[in-house]
Amino acid sequence: MFIGAQVSLYPMTSNFVDVIMTGLDALSPYKTDLRIETDDMSTLMVGAPEPLFDAIRDLFAAAAKRPEHVTMHVTFSRGCPGEPDDPNCRCETLETAQDQSLTDRQTLAAEAVAQAPDLGVAIDLQFSLYVMGSGDHMDEIYGCIDFLKTSGTFHKSKNFCTRLRGDAGAVFETLRQAFLRFGPAEGHVTIDMTASANSPSLA
């Protein structure tokens, strides 16, 4: 299994370098668990979902604690057939999910969100889940939507995506559970996500 994300942070300020560096500093605790490669377009992070989502959450939360409006775009992928297996991407949740019913996975996902840490950073996020392949992929997507509506972070449905709102801890845990528990455990699943904080549109 190969699990990773391409991450781009966009501060809405002329002081964008300081905001980006603040976010990147938050990645320091995760550098031993993830492969992290930054260029002029984005930052690639590869590794198991626990440190992966925690790192991206902390990157955005660190930037969002500043007063500037900041957004972040992330593409998550697991199980891409074009990528080699990586032992650092091992995930117990995916290993056990194959034998769990959709209802059980929804329950476990909700429990994980309820236990998420409170970071004291309010954010908005919208995302789309893509389950690749044929078969019952729409059942998986509808099952994920049902989970989202009871997650405590659901804000509203939009065309082509779902909007979440709340503390960064709970919102990113909701996203992680959507990524891990819906779609075939050994299949190719992606998420396209945009997060926002401190938007003047909400004032």
DSSP-assigned beta bridge partners for residue 35: 46
Picking from 190, 176, 175, 85, the residue whose alpha carbon sits closest to that of residue 137 is 190
pLDDT tops 80 at residue 13? yes
Q: What is the pLDDT of residue 96?
A: 85
Looking at residues 20-43, what average pLDDT do you find? 91
CB 68 within 8 A of CB 75: no
pTM summary value: 0.93
d(CA 151, CA 64): 22
d(CA 32, CA 55): 12
d(CA 104, CA 93): 12
Q: Check residue 19 and give left, alpha or beta (phi > 0: left; psi -120 to 50: alpha).
A: alpha
pLDDT tops 90 at residue 62? yes
Name the amino acid, one letter, at 1.
M
Select the more confidently predicted residue: 184 or 146.
146
CA-based end-to-end distance of the chain: 43
Q: Which of 13-22, 117-126, 135-144 has the lowest mean pLDDT?
A: 135-144
d(CA 120, CA 100): 33
Picking from 55, 198, 53, the residue whose alpha carbon sits closest to that of residue 127 is 53
Q: What is the pLDDT of residue 169?
A: 97
Domains in the chain with CATH codes = 3-202 (3.30.70.930)
Looking at residues 153-166, what average pLDDT do you find? 96
| pLDDT above 90: percentage of residues in the chain | 74
Digit-coded pLDDT (tens) for 38-54:
888 899 999 999 999 99
Residue 29: CB partners within 8 Å, gap ≥ 6?
Answer: 58
CB-CB neighbours of 126 under 10 Å: 18
